[in-house]
Structure 1
Protein backbone atom coordinates (compact mmCIF):
# COMPACT_ATOMS: atom_id res chain seq x y z
CA UNK A 1 0.00 0.00 0.00
CA UNK A 2 1.23 3.49 -0.86
CA UNK A 3 0.82 6.65 1.19
CA UNK A 4 -2.08 7.97 -0.95
CA UNK A 5 -3.45 4.96 -2.85
CA UNK A 6 -3.81 1.19 -2.60
CA UNK A 7 -1.10 0.88 -5.24
CA UNK A 8 2.53 0.20 -4.28
CA UNK A 9 4.88 2.92 -3.08
CA UNK A 10 7.06 2.21 -6.12
CA UNK A 11 4.12 2.96 -8.43
CA UNK A 12 3.45 6.22 -6.61
CA UNK A 13 7.08 7.32 -6.83
CA UNK A 14 7.13 6.53 -10.55
CA UNK A 15 4.08 8.72 -11.13
CA UNK A 16 5.80 11.58 -9.27
CA UNK A 17 9.09 11.32 -11.18
CA UNK A 18 8.67 14.67 -12.93
CA UNK A 19 7.74 16.35 -9.66
CA UNK A 20 11.10 15.30 -8.21
CA UNK A 21 12.93 16.31 -11.39
CA UNK A 22 11.27 19.73 -11.21
CA UNK A 23 12.48 20.19 -7.63
CA UNK A 24 16.04 19.22 -8.54
CA UNK A 25 16.15 21.57 -11.54
CA UNK A 26 16.56 24.82 -9.60
CA UNK A 27 18.25 26.66 -12.49
CA UNK A 28 15.75 27.77 -15.19
CA UNK A 29 16.61 26.49 -18.71
CA UNK A 30 15.41 29.09 -19.79
CA UNK A 31 12.40 28.72 -17.49
CA UNK A 32 11.66 26.33 -14.64
CA UNK A 33 9.90 23.14 -15.72
CA UNK A 34 7.28 23.03 -12.96
CA UNK A 35 4.59 24.83 -15.08
CA UNK A 36 4.88 22.07 -17.70
CA UNK A 37 4.60 19.42 -14.97
CA UNK A 38 1.50 21.22 -13.65
CA UNK A 39 -0.11 21.24 -17.10
CA UNK A 40 0.67 17.55 -17.62
CA UNK A 41 -0.76 16.58 -14.24
CA UNK A 42 -3.84 18.74 -14.85
CA UNK A 43 -4.44 16.98 -18.16
CA UNK A 44 -3.95 13.49 -16.71
CA UNK A 45 -5.99 14.21 -13.56
CA UNK A 46 -8.53 16.35 -15.45
CA UNK A 47 -8.64 19.15 -12.90
CA UNK A 48 -9.41 22.59 -14.38
CA UNK A 49 -7.96 24.75 -11.58
CA UNK A 50 -4.59 23.01 -11.95
CA UNK A 51 -4.63 23.74 -15.68
CA UNK A 52 -5.33 27.42 -15.08
CA UNK A 53 -2.57 27.60 -12.46
CA UNK A 54 -0.13 25.90 -14.84
CA UNK A 55 -0.82 28.43 -17.61
CA UNK A 56 -0.52 31.34 -15.15
CA UNK A 57 2.86 30.11 -13.85
CA UNK A 58 4.10 29.48 -17.40
CA UNK A 59 3.26 33.07 -18.39
CA UNK A 60 4.97 34.32 -15.22
CA UNK A 61 8.10 32.28 -15.98
CA UNK A 62 8.20 33.59 -19.54
CA UNK A 63 7.81 37.13 -18.24
CA UNK A 64 10.67 36.64 -15.78
CA UNK A 65 12.85 35.20 -18.54
CA UNK A 66 12.10 38.18 -20.80
CA UNK A 67 12.94 40.52 -17.92
CA UNK A 68 16.20 38.65 -17.28
CA UNK A 69 17.22 38.96 -20.95
CA UNK A 70 16.30 42.66 -21.02
CA UNK A 71 18.27 43.56 -17.90
CA UNK A 72 21.11 41.08 -18.49
CA UNK A 73 24.55 42.55 -17.84
CA UNK A 74 23.27 45.25 -15.49
CA UNK A 75 23.34 45.44 -11.74
CA UNK A 76 20.06 47.11 -11.00
CA UNK A 77 17.05 46.89 -8.76
CA UNK A 78 15.03 45.52 -11.69
CA UNK A 79 17.48 42.63 -12.16
CA UNK A 80 17.41 41.93 -8.42
CA UNK A 81 13.59 41.84 -8.48
CA UNK A 82 13.70 39.50 -11.50
CA UNK A 83 16.01 37.06 -9.74
CA UNK A 84 13.94 37.25 -6.54
CA UNK A 85 10.77 36.63 -8.54
CA UNK A 86 12.35 33.60 -10.23
CA UNK A 87 13.35 32.05 -6.90
CA UNK A 88 9.92 32.80 -5.39
CA UNK A 89 8.17 31.30 -8.42
CA UNK A 90 10.31 28.14 -8.14
CA UNK A 91 9.52 27.71 -4.44
CA UNK A 92 5.76 28.32 -4.74
CA UNK A 93 5.38 26.26 -7.92
CA UNK A 94 7.18 23.20 -6.63
CA UNK A 95 5.46 23.58 -3.28
CA UNK A 96 2.13 23.31 -5.08
CA UNK A 97 3.32 20.19 -6.93
CA UNK A 98 4.20 18.52 -3.63
CA UNK A 99 0.90 19.61 -2.08
CA UNK A 100 -1.02 18.13 -5.02
CA UNK A 101 0.82 14.81 -5.00
CA UNK A 102 -1.86 12.94 -3.02
CA UNK A 103 -4.94 14.02 -5.03
CA UNK A 104 -2.97 13.57 -8.27
CA UNK A 105 -2.09 9.96 -7.39
CA UNK A 106 -5.68 9.26 -6.39
CA UNK A 107 -6.93 10.59 -9.72
CA UNK A 108 -4.45 8.37 -11.59
CA UNK A 109 -5.60 5.38 -9.54
CA UNK A 110 -9.21 6.12 -10.46
CA UNK A 111 -8.23 6.57 -14.12
CA UNK A 112 -7.08 2.94 -14.19
CA UNK A 113 -10.60 1.85 -13.24
CA UNK A 114 -12.64 4.11 -15.53
CA UNK A 115 -12.27 7.21 -17.76
CA UNK A 116 -12.11 10.45 -15.79
CA UNK A 117 -14.41 13.44 -16.18
CA UNK A 118 -13.14 17.00 -15.74
CA UNK A 119 -13.73 18.50 -12.29
CA UNK A 120 -13.25 22.13 -11.11
CA UNK A 121 -10.88 21.41 -8.20
CA UNK A 122 -9.48 18.44 -6.30
CA UNK A 123 -11.16 19.61 -3.08
CA UNK A 124 -14.60 19.80 -4.73
CA UNK A 125 -14.27 16.10 -5.58
CA UNK A 126 -13.61 15.21 -1.94
CA UNK A 127 -16.62 17.24 -0.76
CA UNK A 128 -18.92 15.45 -3.21
CA UNK A 129 -17.63 12.04 -2.14
CA UNK A 130 -18.51 12.67 1.49
CA UNK A 131 -22.02 14.05 0.96
CA UNK A 132 -24.88 11.79 2.04
CA UNK A 133 -26.54 10.50 -1.10
CA UNK A 134 -30.16 10.06 -1.92
CA UNK A 135 -29.30 8.75 -5.36
CA UNK A 136 -26.08 8.34 -7.30
CA UNK A 137 -25.91 10.38 -10.48
CA UNK A 138 -22.99 8.87 -12.39
CA UNK A 139 -21.05 5.59 -12.47
CA UNK A 140 -17.79 7.54 -11.99
CA UNK A 141 -19.03 9.18 -8.80
CA UNK A 142 -20.14 5.80 -7.47
CA UNK A 143 -16.64 4.37 -8.02
CA UNK A 144 -15.01 7.47 -6.53
CA UNK A 145 -17.12 7.17 -3.39
CA UNK A 146 -16.24 3.51 -2.95
CA UNK A 147 -12.52 4.20 -3.38
CA UNK A 148 -12.74 7.13 -0.96
CA UNK A 149 -14.36 5.12 1.83
CA UNK A 150 -12.02 2.21 1.20
CA UNK A 151 -9.15 4.52 2.14
CA UNK A 152 -10.94 5.90 5.19
CA UNK A 153 -12.04 2.55 6.66
CA UNK A 154 -9.47 0.33 8.40
CA UNK A 155 -11.29 -3.01 8.11
CA UNK A 156 -9.55 -5.38 5.68
CA UNK A 157 -12.63 -7.53 5.08
CA UNK A 158 -14.55 -4.43 4.00
CA UNK A 159 -11.63 -3.51 1.71
CA UNK A 160 -11.94 -6.87 -0.03
CA UNK A 161 -15.70 -6.52 -0.43
CA UNK A 162 -15.35 -2.98 -1.83
CA UNK A 163 -12.77 -4.22 -4.35
CA UNK A 164 -15.17 -7.00 -5.31
CA UNK A 165 -18.09 -4.61 -5.76
CA UNK A 166 -15.99 -2.25 -7.91
CA UNK A 167 -14.89 -5.14 -10.13
CA UNK A 168 -18.43 -6.47 -10.47
CA UNK A 169 -19.82 -3.04 -11.29
CA UNK A 170 -17.18 -2.63 -14.01
CA UNK A 171 -18.23 -5.96 -15.53
CA UNK A 172 -21.89 -4.98 -15.40
CA UNK A 173 -21.26 -1.57 -16.96
CA UNK A 174 -19.27 -3.11 -19.81
CA UNK A 175 -22.04 -5.64 -20.44
CA UNK A 176 -25.08 -3.38 -20.15
CA UNK A 177 -24.87 0.36 -19.44
CA UNK A 178 -28.61 0.72 -18.87
CA UNK A 179 -28.54 -2.07 -16.30
CA UNK A 180 -25.55 -0.35 -14.65
CA UNK A 181 -27.62 2.82 -14.19
CA UNK A 182 -30.36 0.80 -12.47
CA UNK A 183 -27.63 -0.78 -10.34
CA UNK A 184 -26.70 2.67 -8.98
CA UNK A 185 -30.22 3.17 -7.66
CA UNK A 186 -30.58 -0.35 -6.24
CA UNK A 187 -27.27 -0.28 -4.38
CA UNK A 188 -26.98 3.38 -3.36
CA UNK A 189 -27.30 2.24 0.27
CA UNK A 190 -23.85 0.60 0.10
CA UNK A 191 -22.11 3.99 0.13
CA UNK A 192 -24.24 5.23 3.03
CA UNK A 193 -23.35 2.09 5.01
CA UNK A 194 -19.65 2.69 4.42
CA UNK A 195 -20.02 6.31 5.50
CA UNK A 196 -21.74 5.27 8.74
CA UNK A 197 -19.10 2.60 9.42
CA UNK A 198 -16.33 5.18 9.07
CA UNK A 199 -18.21 7.50 11.40
CA UNK A 200 -18.37 4.79 14.08
CA UNK A 201 -14.66 4.01 13.61
CA UNK A 202 -13.75 7.67 14.05
CA UNK A 203 -15.88 8.00 17.19
CA UNK A 204 -13.23 6.05 19.16
CA UNK A 205 -16.00 4.54 21.26
CA UNK A 206 -15.30 0.95 22.26
CA UNK A 207 -18.38 -0.63 23.81
CA UNK A 208 -21.01 -3.24 23.06
CA UNK A 209 -23.22 -0.80 21.16
CA UNK A 210 -20.54 0.34 18.69
CA UNK A 211 -19.17 -3.19 18.34
CA UNK A 212 -22.62 -4.56 17.52
CA UNK A 213 -23.29 -1.71 15.07
CA UNK A 214 -19.99 -2.26 13.26
CA UNK A 215 -20.64 -6.00 13.05
CA UNK A 216 -24.07 -5.37 11.55
CA UNK A 217 -22.69 -2.95 8.95
CA UNK A 218 -19.86 -5.37 8.07
CA UNK A 219 -22.49 -8.04 7.53
CA UNK A 220 -24.52 -5.71 5.27
CA UNK A 221 -21.48 -5.01 3.07
CA UNK A 222 -20.59 -8.71 2.88
CA UNK A 223 -24.15 -9.65 1.90
CA UNK A 224 -24.25 -6.80 -0.62
CA UNK A 225 -21.11 -8.14 -2.29
CA UNK A 226 -22.67 -11.63 -2.52
CA UNK A 227 -25.96 -10.25 -3.88
CA UNK A 228 -24.18 -8.06 -6.43
CA UNK A 229 -22.09 -11.01 -7.60
CA UNK A 230 -25.29 -13.03 -8.13
CA UNK A 231 -26.87 -10.10 -9.94
CA UNK A 232 -23.94 -9.76 -12.34
CA UNK A 233 -23.82 -13.55 -12.82
CA UNK A 234 -27.52 -13.56 -13.75
CA UNK A 235 -26.87 -10.74 -16.22
CA UNK A 236 -24.07 -12.69 -17.88
CA UNK A 237 -26.19 -15.87 -17.83
CA UNK A 238 -28.95 -14.03 -19.66
CA UNK A 239 -26.50 -12.82 -22.29
CA UNK A 240 -25.05 -16.31 -22.71
CA UNK A 241 -28.55 -17.77 -23.21
CA UNK A 242 -29.31 -15.14 -25.86
CA UNK A 243 -26.13 -16.02 -27.72
CA UNK A 244 -26.82 -19.73 -27.33
CA UNK A 245 -30.28 -19.35 -28.88
CA UNK A 246 -28.83 -17.34 -31.74
CA UNK A 247 -26.10 -19.91 -32.42
CA UNK A 248 -28.66 -22.75 -32.37
CA UNK A 249 -30.68 -20.97 -35.04
CA UNK A 250 -27.52 -20.30 -37.04
CA UNK A 251 -26.39 -23.97 -36.95
CA UNK A 252 -29.87 -25.15 -37.91
CA UNK A 253 -29.93 -22.79 -40.89
CA UNK A 254 -26.60 -24.24 -42.08
CA UNK A 255 -28.02 -27.74 -41.82
CA UNK A 256 -31.17 -26.76 -43.70
CA UNK A 257 -29.03 -25.47 -46.57
CA UNK A 258 -27.00 -28.71 -46.59
CA UNK A 259 -23.87 -26.76 -45.70
CA UNK A 260 -23.18 -28.73 -42.59
CA UNK A 261 -23.11 -32.48 -42.13
CA UNK A 262 -24.60 -34.08 -39.06
Structure 2
Protein backbone atom coordinates (compact mmCIF):
# COMPACT_ATOMS: atom_id res chain seq x y z
CA UNK A 1 0.00 0.00 0.00
CA UNK A 2 1.39 3.38 -1.00
CA UNK A 3 1.25 6.82 0.59
CA UNK A 4 -1.74 8.13 -1.35
CA UNK A 5 -3.26 5.06 -3.00
CA UNK A 6 -3.75 1.34 -2.55
CA UNK A 7 -1.02 0.73 -5.09
CA UNK A 8 2.57 -0.01 -4.13
CA UNK A 9 5.04 2.73 -3.25
CA UNK A 10 7.04 1.73 -6.31
CA UNK A 11 4.00 2.36 -8.50
CA UNK A 12 3.52 5.79 -6.97
CA UNK A 13 7.17 6.77 -7.30
CA UNK A 14 7.14 5.69 -10.93
CA UNK A 15 4.21 8.03 -11.66
CA UNK A 16 5.92 10.94 -9.88
CA UNK A 17 9.34 10.63 -11.51
CA UNK A 18 8.81 13.79 -13.58
CA UNK A 19 7.78 15.71 -10.46
CA UNK A 20 11.06 14.79 -8.78
CA UNK A 21 12.99 15.58 -11.97
CA UNK A 22 11.35 18.99 -12.10
CA UNK A 23 12.52 19.71 -8.56
CA UNK A 24 16.08 18.69 -9.44
CA UNK A 25 16.16 20.77 -12.64
CA UNK A 26 16.52 24.38 -11.57
CA UNK A 27 17.32 25.33 -15.15
CA UNK A 28 15.64 24.97 -17.51
CA UNK A 29 12.35 24.90 -15.60
CA UNK A 30 10.04 22.08 -16.66
CA UNK A 31 7.35 22.32 -13.98
CA UNK A 32 4.76 23.89 -16.35
CA UNK A 33 5.18 21.01 -18.80
CA UNK A 34 5.02 18.41 -16.02
CA UNK A 35 1.83 19.97 -14.68
CA UNK A 36 0.38 20.06 -18.19
CA UNK A 37 1.13 16.36 -18.61
CA UNK A 38 -0.45 15.52 -15.25
CA UNK A 39 -3.51 17.59 -16.12
CA UNK A 40 -3.89 15.66 -19.36
CA UNK A 41 -3.51 12.26 -17.70
CA UNK A 42 -5.66 13.14 -14.69
CA UNK A 43 -8.18 15.07 -16.83
CA UNK A 44 -8.41 18.08 -14.51
CA UNK A 45 -9.08 21.37 -16.32
CA UNK A 46 -7.96 23.63 -13.47
CA UNK A 47 -4.51 22.03 -13.52
CA UNK A 48 -4.39 22.51 -17.27
CA UNK A 49 -5.18 26.23 -17.03
CA UNK A 50 -2.66 26.66 -14.22
CA UNK A 51 0.05 24.94 -16.25
CA UNK A 52 -0.51 27.35 -19.14
CA UNK A 53 -0.33 30.29 -16.74
CA UNK A 54 2.98 29.04 -15.36
CA UNK A 55 4.25 28.51 -18.90
CA UNK A 56 3.42 32.10 -19.89
CA UNK A 57 5.17 33.31 -16.74
CA UNK A 58 8.29 31.42 -17.81
CA UNK A 59 8.14 32.95 -21.28
CA UNK A 60 7.88 36.36 -19.66
CA UNK A 61 10.89 35.67 -17.46
CA UNK A 62 12.94 34.43 -20.42
CA UNK A 63 12.07 37.60 -22.31
CA UNK A 64 13.06 39.66 -19.28
CA UNK A 65 16.42 37.85 -19.12
CA UNK A 66 16.91 38.70 -22.79
CA UNK A 67 16.10 42.39 -22.23
CA UNK A 68 18.36 42.83 -19.20
CA UNK A 69 21.16 40.49 -20.31
CA UNK A 70 24.67 41.86 -19.89
CA UNK A 71 23.84 44.38 -17.19
CA UNK A 72 23.44 43.86 -13.46
CA UNK A 73 20.50 46.20 -13.10
CA UNK A 74 17.51 46.30 -10.82
CA UNK A 75 15.47 44.77 -13.63
CA UNK A 76 17.82 41.78 -13.81
CA UNK A 77 17.68 41.38 -10.03
CA UNK A 78 13.88 41.37 -10.10
CA UNK A 79 13.93 38.87 -12.96
CA UNK A 80 16.20 36.51 -11.01
CA UNK A 81 13.96 36.81 -7.95
CA UNK A 82 10.93 36.13 -10.14
CA UNK A 83 12.61 33.08 -11.63
CA UNK A 84 13.40 31.64 -8.20
CA UNK A 85 9.88 32.39 -6.98
CA UNK A 86 8.40 30.73 -10.04
CA UNK A 87 10.57 27.65 -9.49
CA UNK A 88 9.51 27.35 -5.84
CA UNK A 89 5.81 28.02 -6.45
CA UNK A 90 5.59 25.78 -9.52
CA UNK A 91 7.24 22.78 -7.93
CA UNK A 92 5.36 23.39 -4.70
CA UNK A 93 2.10 23.15 -6.64
CA UNK A 94 3.29 19.92 -8.25
CA UNK A 95 4.03 18.40 -4.87
CA UNK A 96 0.73 19.65 -3.48
CA UNK A 97 -1.29 17.96 -6.23
CA UNK A 98 0.75 14.74 -6.21
CA UNK A 99 -1.68 12.88 -3.95
CA UNK A 100 -4.70 13.88 -6.01
CA UNK A 101 -2.85 13.06 -9.23
CA UNK A 102 -2.00 9.56 -8.03
CA UNK A 103 -5.58 8.97 -6.90
CA UNK A 104 -6.88 10.07 -10.30
CA UNK A 105 -4.51 7.64 -12.01
CA UNK A 106 -5.62 4.85 -9.69
CA UNK A 107 -9.24 5.66 -10.45
CA UNK A 108 -8.42 5.60 -14.16
CA UNK A 109 -7.40 1.96 -13.85
CA UNK A 110 -10.87 1.09 -12.54
CA UNK A 111 -12.97 3.07 -15.02
CA UNK A 112 -12.34 5.60 -17.82
CA UNK A 113 -11.73 9.11 -16.51
CA UNK A 114 -13.84 12.04 -17.65
CA UNK A 115 -12.72 15.66 -17.62
CA UNK A 116 -13.57 17.56 -14.44
CA UNK A 117 -13.14 21.26 -13.73
CA UNK A 118 -11.72 20.84 -10.24
CA UNK A 119 -11.17 18.08 -7.70
CA UNK A 120 -14.20 19.39 -5.83
CA UNK A 121 -16.27 18.32 -8.84
CA UNK A 122 -14.93 14.80 -8.47
CA UNK A 123 -15.89 14.70 -4.79
CA UNK A 124 -19.41 15.90 -5.60
CA UNK A 125 -19.66 13.26 -8.33
CA UNK A 126 -18.49 10.53 -5.97
CA UNK A 127 -21.02 11.68 -3.37
CA UNK A 128 -23.81 11.59 -5.94
CA UNK A 129 -22.77 8.11 -7.04
CA UNK A 130 -22.69 6.98 -3.43
CA UNK A 131 -26.23 8.26 -2.93
CA UNK A 132 -27.64 6.79 -6.15
CA UNK A 133 -26.25 3.34 -6.91
CA UNK A 134 -26.74 2.11 -10.46
CA UNK A 135 -26.37 -1.41 -11.86
CA UNK A 136 -23.26 -0.32 -13.75
CA UNK A 137 -21.58 1.29 -10.73
CA UNK A 138 -22.52 -1.71 -8.57
CA UNK A 139 -20.85 -4.17 -10.94
CA UNK A 140 -17.86 -1.86 -11.41
CA UNK A 141 -17.26 -1.74 -7.66
CA UNK A 142 -17.64 -5.49 -7.30
CA UNK A 143 -15.13 -6.15 -10.06
CA UNK A 144 -12.74 -3.59 -8.61
CA UNK A 145 -12.72 -5.26 -5.20
CA UNK A 146 -12.53 -8.69 -6.81
CA UNK A 147 -9.25 -7.53 -8.31
CA UNK A 148 -7.97 -5.83 -5.16
CA UNK A 149 -8.78 -8.55 -2.61
CA UNK A 150 -6.22 -11.36 -2.35
CA UNK A 151 -8.54 -13.95 -0.80
CA UNK A 152 -9.44 -16.47 -3.53
CA UNK A 153 -12.63 -17.56 -1.79
CA UNK A 154 -13.91 -14.01 -1.77
CA UNK A 155 -12.92 -13.58 -5.41
CA UNK A 156 -15.09 -16.60 -6.22
CA UNK A 157 -18.00 -15.22 -4.18
CA UNK A 158 -17.80 -11.92 -6.02
CA UNK A 159 -17.60 -13.63 -9.41
CA UNK A 160 -20.72 -15.61 -8.52
CA UNK A 161 -22.59 -12.48 -7.40
CA UNK A 162 -21.64 -10.62 -10.60
CA UNK A 163 -22.76 -13.54 -12.76
CA UNK A 164 -26.10 -13.80 -10.95
CA UNK A 165 -26.65 -10.06 -11.14
CA UNK A 166 -25.97 -10.03 -14.89
CA UNK A 167 -28.41 -12.90 -15.29
CA UNK A 168 -31.08 -10.97 -13.41
CA UNK A 169 -30.34 -7.71 -15.21
CA UNK A 170 -30.74 -9.37 -18.61
CA UNK A 171 -34.17 -10.67 -17.63
CA UNK A 172 -35.63 -7.75 -15.69
CA UNK A 173 -34.00 -4.34 -15.23
CA UNK A 174 -36.52 -3.25 -12.60
CA UNK A 175 -35.82 -6.32 -10.49
CA UNK A 176 -32.10 -5.61 -10.87
CA UNK A 177 -32.63 -2.15 -9.37
CA UNK A 178 -34.55 -3.68 -6.47
CA UNK A 179 -31.68 -6.14 -6.10
CA UNK A 180 -29.35 -3.19 -5.41
CA UNK A 181 -31.53 -2.10 -2.51
CA UNK A 182 -31.54 -5.58 -0.99
CA UNK A 183 -27.89 -6.50 -1.55
CA UNK A 184 -26.02 -3.20 -1.97
CA UNK A 185 -24.36 -3.73 1.42
CA UNK A 186 -22.13 -6.35 -0.22
CA UNK A 187 -19.97 -3.53 -1.59
CA UNK A 188 -19.47 -2.08 1.89
CA UNK A 189 -18.45 -5.49 3.23
CA UNK A 190 -15.93 -5.89 0.41
CA UNK A 191 -14.56 -2.41 1.02
CA UNK A 192 -14.11 -3.16 4.71
CA UNK A 193 -12.33 -6.45 3.93
CA UNK A 194 -10.04 -4.70 1.46
CA UNK A 195 -9.19 -2.06 4.06
CA UNK A 196 -8.29 -4.79 6.56
CA UNK A 197 -6.05 -6.50 4.02
CA UNK A 198 -4.27 -3.25 3.28
CA UNK A 199 -3.41 -2.73 6.94
CA UNK A 200 -0.99 -5.68 6.62
CA UNK A 201 -1.73 -6.53 10.24
CA UNK A 202 -1.91 -10.18 11.22
CA UNK A 203 -3.05 -10.01 14.82
CA UNK A 204 -6.02 -11.90 16.19
CA UNK A 205 -8.38 -8.93 15.94
CA UNK A 206 -7.86 -8.42 12.20
CA UNK A 207 -7.90 -12.16 11.50
CA UNK A 208 -11.21 -12.58 13.32
CA UNK A 209 -12.68 -9.57 11.55
CA UNK A 210 -11.60 -10.86 8.15
CA UNK A 211 -13.03 -14.31 8.89
CA UNK A 212 -16.33 -12.76 9.91
CA UNK A 213 -16.51 -10.63 6.76
CA UNK A 214 -15.63 -13.64 4.61
CA UNK A 215 -18.45 -15.60 6.24
CA UNK A 216 -20.85 -12.73 5.55
CA UNK A 217 -19.87 -12.70 1.88
CA UNK A 218 -20.27 -16.48 1.64
CA UNK A 219 -23.77 -16.22 3.10
CA UNK A 220 -24.53 -13.26 0.84
CA UNK A 221 -23.55 -15.23 -2.26
CA UNK A 222 -25.83 -18.08 -1.19
CA UNK A 223 -28.70 -15.74 -0.35
CA UNK A 224 -28.33 -13.91 -3.66
CA UNK A 225 -28.41 -17.21 -5.56
CA UNK A 226 -31.65 -18.15 -3.78
CA UNK A 227 -33.06 -14.68 -4.40
CA UNK A 228 -32.32 -14.77 -8.12
CA UNK A 229 -33.60 -18.36 -8.40
CA UNK A 230 -36.89 -17.39 -6.74
CA UNK A 231 -37.28 -14.37 -9.01
CA UNK A 232 -36.70 -16.48 -12.11
CA UNK A 233 -39.07 -19.15 -10.78
CA UNK A 234 -41.78 -16.55 -10.15
CA UNK A 235 -41.29 -15.14 -13.62
CA UNK A 236 -41.61 -18.61 -15.15
CA UNK A 237 -44.81 -19.20 -13.19
CA UNK A 238 -46.21 -15.92 -14.50
CA UNK A 239 -45.34 -16.93 -18.05
CA UNK A 240 -46.89 -20.36 -17.51
CA UNK A 241 -50.10 -18.85 -16.14
CA UNK A 242 -50.25 -16.39 -19.01
CA UNK A 243 -49.75 -19.24 -21.47
CA UNK A 244 -52.60 -21.22 -19.91
CA UNK A 245 -54.93 -18.23 -20.17
CA UNK A 246 -53.90 -17.71 -23.78
CA UNK A 247 -54.56 -21.34 -24.70
CA UNK A 248 -57.92 -21.30 -22.92
CA UNK A 249 -58.90 -18.16 -24.83
CA UNK A 250 -58.09 -19.86 -28.11
CA UNK A 251 -60.17 -22.87 -27.10
CA UNK A 252 -63.12 -20.68 -26.12
CA UNK A 253 -63.03 -19.14 -29.58
CA UNK A 254 -62.92 -22.61 -31.11
CA UNK A 255 -59.52 -21.90 -32.56
CA UNK A 256 -58.06 -24.92 -30.80
CA UNK A 257 -59.44 -28.34 -30.13
CA UNK A 258 -59.34 -29.92 -26.70
For 2:127 and 2:57, locate their aligned partners in 1 and report how far apart those are by CA, in whole Å. Answer: 36
Please name the residue that 2:43 is paired with: 46
Deviations 1:56-76 (A, max 9, x none): 111111111111111111222
> Judging changes above 3 Å, is the alpha-carbon distance between structure 1 residues 38 and 96 closer, same or farther for their aligned structure 2 residues?
same
Does 1:187 find its partner at 2:187?
Answer: no
Could you say if the C-alpha distance between residues 71 and 17 of structure 1 is closer, same or farther in structure 2, counting changes exceeding 3 Å?
A: same
Q: Which residue of 1 aligns with 2:32?
A: 35
Q: Which residue of 1 is the match for residue 18 of structure 2?
A: 18
Match of 2:5 in 1: 5
Could you list the structure 1 runs, at least 4 aligned residues long, displaced by more than 2 angstroms after superposition.
126-134, 136-148, 160-170, 181-194, 215-232
CA contact (8 A) 1:48 1:120 kept: yes
TM-score by length of 1: 0.58
Number of residue pairs aligned between Structure 1 and Structure 2: 207
- Which consecutive unaligned segments of at least 5 residues does structure 1 have? 198-214, 233-262
RMSD between aligned residues: 4.8
Q: Return 5+ residue gaps in structure 2 as ranges.
A: 193-210, 229-258
Asked if the contact 2:160/2:221 (under 8 Å) is kept, the reply is no
Residue in structure 1 matched with residue 236 of structure 2 by the alignment: none
- Whole-angstrom CA distance in 1 between matches of 2:19 and 2:124: 26
Report the TM-score when normalising by structure 2: 0.59
Residue 48 of structure 1: how far off its partner (Å) = 1.1
CA deviation vs aligned residue, 1:212-238 (integer Å, no higher than 9, x gap): xxx998876665566779999xxxxxx
Q: Which residue of 2 aligns with 1:55?
A: 52
Q: What is aligned with 1:104?
A: 101
